[in-house]
Structure 1
Amino acid sequence: MHPPTSPARQWRVPPAVPAVKLAGAVGLVALGLLLADGDPVPLALAVAAAVGIAAWAVRDLLAPVRLAVDADGITVVRGYAGRRHLPWEAVEAVTVDRRTRFGLTGETLEIDAGETLHLLGRADLGAPPAEVAEAVRAARP
């Protein structure tokens, strides 16, 4: 008989993030059309940048859940839209890295799993990394 498992928690990309990225891609194409004036180079550069941003937004739509925890371990996004489950035994540390640049402080959640390090920011989690780190530590059996 298995012990009761705690309910899973998950953190995902806020819905506004891919919407803003897609709007930015459309804006870049519009700017390229506006600046082209018969020259294909500005339009080609704008389209190339827009494709990159759109691909970034599609990733947010395909794999919106960046982190999930339950009694068995942690599941993190891997690669473009894959997932990787880390059993609790493999998780060595869950920390928050704080850095100040240009007067702004940024936080990154770091999940150290020995040979791999998983980094997630507020835009990935939809919540402050410090709060998520506390919740992840509390979920560990």
Structure 2
Amino acid sequence: MTDPMSWRVPVWLPVVKLAGGVALLLLALALADGDRAQLGVGAAVCACLALWAARDLLAPVRLAADEDGLTVVTGFARRSRLTWDRIEAVRLDTRPRLGVRTETLEVDTGDTLHVFTKADLGVPPEDVLPLLNEVRAPR
């Protein structure tokens, strides 16, 4: 029997998102010079970053695994349980983008595709795949 495992958003990530939103709002306030449109854009960007950070705080654990299956975050912060028999494939997708190699962990159920990045997992996806395969292996 394998112990349950989970992967989460790094703690520093929502802090950076919130700080970035506040910094952009302060910048808009400093540069707006009474321009309501500029203030509105700054406030909208701040609100979007705050919502993005809120998701990280409400659902920090994006992927959890045990011998029965996976729990994944779907939508904004809802959790879905996927039993191993529903999962068709768990794979690593590596693509070059703008001169940088990006990796994602994909959980394919046939009907849905759940994609996780290093920012979602807190570790590189290539480190998670062998652990999931070990948990999934038939006993």
- State TM-score, norm by structure 1: 0.95
Q: How does 1:42-121 map to 2 (within 5 A)?
A: 42-121=38-117
Residue identity opposite 2:93 in structure 1: D
SS at match of 2:123: coil
How many residue pairs match? The answer is 137
Q: How far apart are 1:8 and its partner, in Å?
A: 0.4
2:105 matches 1:132: no
Decide which of 8, 31, 39 is 1:12's aligned counterpart.
Answer: 8
Gaps in structure 2 of 5+ consecutive residues = none
Query: Runs of 5+ in structure 1 lacking a partner?
Result: none
1:43-66 deviation per Cα after TM superposition (whole angstroms, max 9, x unaligned): 100100110110000000000000
Q: Distance in 2 between matches of 1:97 and 1:70?
A: 22
Amino acid at match of 2:83: P
SS state at 1:24 partner? helix
- Give the deviation of 1:102 after TM superposition: 1.7
* TM-score for both structures, normalised by structure 2: 0.96
Shift in Å at residue 131 of structure 1? 1.0
> Quick one: distance in 1 between partners of 2:48 and 2:34?
24
RMSD over aligned Cα atoms = 0.8
Q: Deviations over 1:9-33 (max 9, x none)?
A: 0000000100000000101110110
C-alpha distance in 2, partners of 1:127/1:133?
11
Identity %: 51
- Distance in 2 between residues matched to 1:38 and 1:80, nearest whole Å: 35
Q: CA deviation at 1:101?
A: 1.4
* Code of the aligned partner of 2:7: W
CA distance in 2, matches of 1:63, 1:17: 13
Report SS of the residue matched to 1:17.
helix
Write the distance in 1 (CA, Å) between the matches of 2:36 and 2:60.
35
Structure-1 separation of matches of 2:64 and 2:102: 22
Determine the C-alpha separation between the residues in 1 that align with 2:134 and 2:123. Answer: 16
Measure the CA separation in 2 of the matches of 1:63 and 1:43. Answer: 30
